[in-house]
Amino acid sequence: VHFPDVERVEWLNKTVKQMWPYICQFVEKLFHETIEPAVKESNAHLSTFCFSKIHLGDKPLRVNGVKVYTENVDQRQIIMDLQISFVGNTEIDVDIKRYYCKAGIKSIQIHGVLRVVMEPLLGDMPLIGALSVFFLKKP
């Protein structure tokens, strides 16, 4: 099936591949500094929860196609749908030291459409006021 309004973006996949180690660093920091404290604070039984290993692997996320909406959208915004797939050799390990409990995840697959909304567009740097990123449906 061919969708003429969805563009292939191999150049973007090359960019993501080069950025992948830095994306991994960002995700690891996000897990340790945002997700881990939120889990610890959510329940007294999880007060010793921690991520002991976070490795997204060396296979980067792929963008299989992009659709940019140009009709019926506010001229001060850009809306894009990215068809993504991630088949990673991921390893994520967690510990709950209080209960001597360990668990882990190996190999994650995610397929879905990621919507990116950039708004409002600005006349000064950084040109975009905010960036929203979310899945249209459960991946």
pLDDT at 68: 95
> For residue 59, what are its two tokens?
């296979």
User: Which residues have C-beta within 8 Å of that of residue 2, sequence separation ≥ 6?
Assistant: none
87 burial type by CB count under 10 A (0-12 exposed, 13-18 middle, 19+ buried): middle
| Residue 70 confidence (pLDDT) | 87
Task: Compute the average pLDDT of residues 19-34.
Answer: 97
Two tokens, residue 122 = 């600005």
What tens digit of pLDDT does each residue of 1-13 get? 556 788 999 999 9
Tell me the whole-structure pTM to 2 decimals: 0.81
pLDDT the model gives residue 79:
97
Other beta carbons within 10 angstroms of residue 90's beta carbon come to 19
pLDDT digits (tens, 9 = 90+) for 29-78: 999 999 999 999 999 999 999 999 999 999 999 999 999 998 999 999 99
